[in-house]
Amino acid sequence: MAAQPAEHHDYYRDDDVSVTPAGLRIPPPSRRAPIHDDPVAVHGRPPVMWLLAAHGRSGAGTLAQIWAPAGDARRGWPAADRHRNVVVVCRTDRAGLDAAHDLLLQAQAGLVGDCTLLGLVLVPDAPGPLPKTLRRWADVVASAAPAVWRVPYVEDLRTHRQNELAIWTPTEPDPPP
């Protein structure tokens, strides 16, 4: 009897194989954002990027309201949507930074469906500079993101309702000097 050739299996092209970098700490399921199986409901035009709140009161809902191209991802990865570009949003307190770190590690591990992580938005939790320990931890968390945007502290955001805020669109002219 002649030897039969072994079944060829190309492991480099197997889409079912998930590879996690050695040493990457993957957060437990309880600290990951779920992957949405259905499109996220939006009113009006679908967003070209999604803001994923790392925790409650992160500022993602407010930013989605005032940035016209963005939508609130409703605390999950919008893998079923046409546009799957995601920006994680967190406050700069310790709990917010920890929650954002978990989501960034989830993305690095490839546990976000077909979503693409664009970066991280840091929303200040108080006016003024961060204490040194938080500033250092924010730098560590930011190093796990492809890009980082730091939103300035805006006192008016505390005193106005979301529907009272101005909406910015990319086609708007720059404000006068």
Rounded CA-CA distance 127/146 in Å is 26
Q: Where are the domains of the chain?
A: 35-159
How do residues 19-75 score in pLDDT, each as one tens digit? 566 677 899 999 999 999 999 998 888 899 999 999 999 999 999 999 999 999 999
- Ranges assigned E (strand) in the chain: 49-53, 70-72, 85-91, 116-123, 148-150
Rounded CA-CA distance 115/76 in Å is 11
Helices and strands, counts by H and E, the chain: 4, 5
Beta pairing partners, 117: 86
Task: Report pTM.
Answer: 0.84
